[in-house]
Amino acid sequence: MTSTRALRTATALLAAGALLAACAPGSGSDDGAITPAASGEVSTDLASLGDITLAVWDQEVRGGQNEQIEQLNAAFTETYPNITIERNSQSFDDLETTLRGALTGDDAPDVVQANNTRGVMGAFVSTGLLLNLDTYAEAYGWTDRYSPSVLAKSSYSEDGATFGAGHLYGLPQVGEIVGIFYSRAALEAAGIDEDALLGGTWSDFITALETAKGAGQVPIQLGNLDAWPAGHVFGQVQAQHVPAEEIEALGMGNEGAGWTTPENEAAAAELQGWVTSGYFNEGPNGTDYDAAWTTFGEGTGTFLLGGSWLAADLEAAMGNDLGFMAPPPAEAGAPVSTTGGTGLPFAITAQSPNADAAAGYIDFLTSDDAMEILAETGNMPVNRTAELAPESGVNADIFAAFGAVSETGNLLPYLDWATPTMGDTLGAALQDLIASQSTPAQFTEALEADYGAFVAGS
């Protein structure tokens, strides 16, 4: 289906029946009246809201990102000619810098993309700057469209203290996943069967690392000079040892878990064992992140444990030699768990006088038809991911992996989300662990000190 045809399909489907019957005649118009979303009285009949200008701040500035939002904005205003989109598009860094001031000023935008971490979305929620979207989620069926693990990434308690549960404050369009890139040529040269690896367990992957090493290859390329990349490796190891619900609590900085457990120590010991077994390139702590994945793309290395955002550059270098898999489960047939997340969710500001229109706009951007536009423009849609996967190429593998993890497995949080200082704490602790300057017990104790202090004070 071409982009034009998909847009016409989206427009026709959404125009038919005006989406849903209105629950109440919410105003949301330019007269300044605020839709009473908090009371549950919302309108999904956007055509009846009168003439509205929606101020939208996004960071969809790169190629396919900008293309999809432009197409969807055009389709939305064609469907609802009474609503004008006033778009303010900024880079991620610029949006982070300007958003806080905008939300606390007298002329806040209606819709914003807010980083769903504690330091941004959590802070906005705790100070009452974002609208609770629960009533709109019920009206539009967002809880049916989205998996619980994805919605959790944009959910907070009303005071912002609990991350991953409570109320919904945003909806994302795209997903991302951390997994295992591999070279098909390297597998063949080492005598590793690709199909067996894909259908195997974690122990089969460990066997493949040993086989690759025995064949004279670098089993895993890792550039950990900046300290954070090893977190993406450790997260995959941790998922093999620690229950998903505990990792979610640790990664989101919520009560109910702890780092100093036998399971976390076992994960740390396994990662440290990879170093002593020679599974990494020489000196990973002194290797630049970009240098490591570039070296892998140039043909040195069997595996690279990293995020889906590397796919375009790696595929440009490796072509059909490049494959991707989610980390296999510890036991055959068990749900797949790995680190991952979403793009920045679209949220509604608490000051917006156009909440009903803003919610309808977010619904349009994240509809099933919108997911087709996202896929066609080279983005990985957060819903219908496996269904909309390309027929070939590494993105076919990545889409399938994200679909499996987000729909039937566990999409685990980035561990540095937990506290304002956890990024530095985790990075330093992993560098020490990899350099054998700390034991697995000392590693978990360092993380517990940060996590425990934050939870106790929150």
What is the DSSP code string of 286-298? Answer: GS-HHHHHHHHHT
Q: Choose among 390, 374, 300, 369: nearest CA to 342.
A: 374
Q: How far is CA 350 from CA 58, 85, 106, 157, in A?
A: 17, 18, 12, 16
| Whole-number pLDDT of residue 244 | 94
Domains 3-174+343-384 and 178-341+415-457 share a fold: yes
CA distance 313 to 199: 26
Sign of the four-CA dihedral 164, 141, 177, 120: negative
What pTM was estimated for this model as a whole?
0.79
Residue 6 near residue 373, CB atoms below 8 Å: yes
Q: How far is CA 112 from CA 170, 172, 199, 207, 350, in A?
A: 9, 11, 41, 47, 11
Pairing of β 175-183 and β 337-342 = antiparallel
Q: 3-174+343-384: which CATH topology?
A: D-Maltodextrin-Binding Protein; domain 2 (3.40.190)
Domain ranges in the chain are 3-174+343-384, 178-341+415-457
| Whole-number pLDDT of residue 136 | 97
Q: How far is CA 443 from CA 96, 235, 426, in A?
A: 31, 14, 9
| Whole-number pLDDT of residue 4 | 33
How many other CB atoms sit within 10 Å of the CB of residue 153? 25
CA distance 310 to 314: 6
In total, the chain counts a number of residues equal to 458
Residue 55 gets the label, from left (phi > 0), alpha (psi -120 to 50) or beta, of: beta
Buried b (16+ CB within 10 A) or exposed e, 109-131: bbbbbbbbbbebbbbbbbeebbb
DSSP 238-253: HTTTS-HHHHHHHHHT
How many other CB atoms sit within 10 Å of the CB of residue 299? 12
Contacting residues for 238 by C-beta, under 8 A, at least 6 apart:
247, 264, 267, 415
- 3-state DSSP: the chain helix, strand, coil percent, rounded to 5? 50, 15, 35
| Whole-number pLDDT of residue 120 | 87
Q: In which element (H, E) is residue 324 found?
A: strand 322-325
Q: What is the 8-class DSSP label of residue 159? A: T
First to last CA, the chain: 50
| Tens digit of pLDDT at every position of the chain (458 positions) | 333 333 433 433 333 333 333 332 223 333 333 444 545 589 999 999 999 999 999 988 877 889 999 999 999 999 999 999 999 998 877 887 888 888 888 789 999 999 888 888 998 999 999 999 999 999 999 999 998 889 999 999 999 989 999 999 999 999 999 999 999 999 999 999 999 999 999 999 999 999 999 999 999 999 999 999 999 999 999 999 999 999 999 999 999 999 999 999 999 999 999 999 999 999 999 999 999 999 999 999 999 999 998 998 899 899 999 999 999 999 999 999 999 989 899 999 999 999 999 999 999 999 999 999 999 988 899 999 989 999 999 999 999 999 889 888 999 999 998 988 899 999 999 999 999 999 999 999 999 999 999 999 86
Q: Choose among 195, 226, 201: nearest CA to 428.
A: 226
| Whole-number pLDDT of residue 378 | 84
Q: Choose among 298, 329, 339, 296: nearest CA to 182.
A: 296
Q: 178-341+415-457: which CATH topology?
A: D-Maltodextrin-Binding Protein; domain 2 (3.40.190)
Q: Choose among 451, 356, 435, 458: nearest CA to 25.
A: 356
Dig out the tokens for 244 from the structure: 């998903």
| Whole-number pLDDT of residue 440 | 98
C-alpha 146 chain-centroid distance:
13
Buried b (16+ CB within 10 A) or exposed e, 199-238: ebbbebbbebbebbbeeebbbbbbbbbebbbbbbbbbbbb
